[in-house]
Chains A and B, each alone.
Chain A
Amino acid sequence: MEQALAIQSINCFYDEVQVLHDLSLDLSRGEVHCLFGRNGAGKTTTLKAIMGLVRVRSGKIVKDGVEISKLPAHEIAKHAIAYVPQGRRLFGELTVAENLQIGLLARNKGEETRERVLNLFPLLRERLNQRSSTLSGGEQQMLAMARALCVEPDVLLLDEPTEGLMPSMIARIREAVTALHEQGVSTILVEQRVDAVLEIASRVSFVENGRVKATMGVEDLRAEPELVRKYVGVG
């Protein structure tokens, strides 16, 4: 299968503390690749390294034949990679419409993209003139994803998008991820919930102490659910 993104033996540090050790991962075009692991395993750091928010000291990250690991964050985003961090991080003083506009303007996208995004999250259409800081947690998550999608990414990085949400909202977020998968968007998803992984992922990588311990198809995990306990001690 064609590669959308390749992470090749990267090493990352927070000051002098090494957090990623020769971590390698590949993302195939159109797949949902889930990173699974304990807190502090290095999942979020992996996403940040892809986005250039944590410096890659050695190893490289390649997208469409271009090494992006040496580029500044705003240049990496121009390679059609979007990141939805944990905690949403919206522009709270701006309205829903303005948040989307900021996303659209970043890559000079127009009305067509906006409509496509709003069709994915119809709830936001009713909130366009509302200040984003006044939205519920689930709505904020939808807006964070919607804003990221305004740049029309072909690689989407999602960091625990369903964390702390009520079940109805979790279902909607999952529907959106599935719809994006069907549209051919390649996604790296950091997720702590086994049921979510089994439902929407194509492949799963177990991350521990800054290394990928194992990568397998979701069918293998479904067949042997005790693997979750083996690698991360939960299940």
Chain B
Amino acid sequence: MSGSDTTRTILLHGALLAGLAALDFVLPDYHHGVLARVMVLSVFAMGYNIAFGYTGLLSLGHAMFFAAGLYGAALPIYHLGWSVWPSLGAGLLAGLVLAVIVACLALRTLGVAFMIVTLMFSQVFYLTTLYFTTYTRGEEGLVLQQGMRTLALPGGHISLANADVRFWAAWTLFSLTLVITLFLVRSRFGRALVAIRENEERMRMLGYDVFASKLAAMAVSGTISAAAGAAYAVLFGYAGSGFASIQYSILPLLWVLLGGAATVLGPFVGTLIMFYLIDTASSYTTPHMLVVGVALILLILYFPKGIVGTIRAKWLRWLP
């Protein structure tokens, strides 16, 4: 990447983050809440994008990593009375450990087999959350009361139930993940992941340990997804089994495909559009998913590489 491309990249992403920050002051309450939720879910999509977009690992089990973060944070708060910071740490750790274990086994397979194996692991995780209903409250879920969601900061305590605090917390997590992703995809590791996606055998012939690189990619991807899950639990005060279901493995795939796989901004764009598409369609008609389906078909017809992916392919070649 040339110097001018780097400058343009920094300016574009800086402008996006500044624009999102500015929206805190102008958005009405409803959209303010939606944007906070979209930013957190975008982090999930960005995590998924590391595995799918950059490394070519089509996982159908990422819901388990999101849910590992969600329950990893919510269970200690709910049952053990932990505070927010250690609970967030527990959520991240749960996602990382689960991702490493699942990847060690699933990466022995390729292609369709990898999809099926990750899906099976995810279903086991989902059924486990239902089996231990005593602790997880199954589909009904755990509701974390306002008092449980107080964040200790050097200046004092703040409540994450407050809409503004929630927005800024979501923005901070989103910004951090965006910067990490930008750094990651331009790094030696990130370039190696793209090369593995392009031609795994060739990388092996050059002397790269492909298994180790894919394992690392899954660990990073799973941890970022878990970070989104943990943040979701403490910011929105809810953890239910539904987040471990297959729907939450399909959604990040759709968000990433719609926004543009292997693009840094694609996951955010895809999540935002999908969220509002469902939201708007459901306010007009009961079979709203039909409308969403048609809209998605049209988008894919005109933006075959996803929205940001097509923009990059046709006009802005420098987009990361």
Contacts and interface: CB of A to CB of B under 8 A. Distances in A.
Interface stretch (B169-177, B186-194, B220-228): B186-194
B198 A105 contact: no
Interface string A54-96: 0000000000000000001111011000110100011111100
Nearest to B209: A74
B207 A106 contact: yes
A203 B212 CA distance: 39
B192 A93 contact: no
Contact of A92 (B192, B198, B204, B210): B198
B191 A73 contact: no
Interface of A: 51, 53, 72-75, 77-78, 82-83, 85, 89-94, 98, 101-103, 105-107, 129, 147-148, 151
B198 A91 contact: yes
A91 B207 contact: no
Contacts of B2: 129
Given A53-B201, A89-B199, A105-B188, A94 B194 contact: yes
A167 B150 CA distance: 73
Residue among A74, A90, A106 with max Cβ neighbours from chain B (10 Å): A74
Contacts of A83: 205
Given A53-B205, A74-B210, A77-B206, A105 B199 contact: no
Q: Which of A53, A75, A91, A148 has the most CB of B within 10 A?
A: A91
22 contacts: A72-B204, A73-B201, A73-B205, A74-B203, A74-B206, A77-B205, A77-B206, A83-B205, A85-B202, A90-B199, A91-B194, A91-B199, A92-B198, A93-B198, A94-B191, A94-B194, A98-B191, A102-B191, A105-B188, A105-B192, A106-B206, A107-B207
B208 interface: yes
Give the secondary structure class of B's interface.
Answer: helix
Contacts of B205: 51, 53, 73-74, 77, 82-83, 85
Nearest to A92: B198
B251 interface: no
B199 A77 contact: no
A232 B114 CA distance: 43
Q: Which 10 pairs from chain A and chain B are nearest by CB?
A: A77-B207, A91-B198, A73-B204, A106-B206, A106-B207, A91-B195, A74-B204, A89-B202, A102-B195, A83-B205
Contacts of A148: 206
Contacts of B194: 91, 93-94
A86 to B, nearest CB: 12
Contacts, number: 65
Contacts of A98: 191
B171 to A, nearest CB: 31
Contacts of A93: 194, 198, 262
Contacts of B203: 74, 102
Contacts of B199: 89-91
Contacts of A102: 191-192, 195, 203, 206
Given A73-B204, A74-B207, A89-B202, 12 more contacts: A72-B204, A74-B208, A82-B205, A82-B206, A83-B205, A85-B205, A91-B195, A94-B198, A102-B191, A105-B188, A105-B192, A148-B206
Contacts of A147: 206
A107 B207 CA distance: 8
A171 B204 CA distance: 30
Nearest to B2: A129
A95 to B, nearest CB: 9
Contact of B207 (A78, A85, A90): A78
Contacts of A82: 205-206
Contacts of A85: 202, 205
Contacts of B201: 53, 73, 89
Contacts of B191: 94, 98, 101-102, 105
Contact of A91 (B202, B204, B210, B262): B202
A103 B206 contact: yes
B53 to A, nearest CB: 11
Contacts of B188: 105
Contacts of A103: 206
B57 to A, nearest CB: 16
A147 B138 CA distance: 54
A126 B204 CA distance: 28
A83 B195 CA distance: 16
A175 B218 CA distance: 44
Contacts of B206: 74, 77, 82, 102-103, 106, 147-148, 151
A181 B88 CA distance: 59
B49 to A, nearest CB: 15
Contacts of B198: 90-94
B208 A106 contact: yes
Nearest to A77: B207
Contacts of A91: 194-195, 198-199, 202
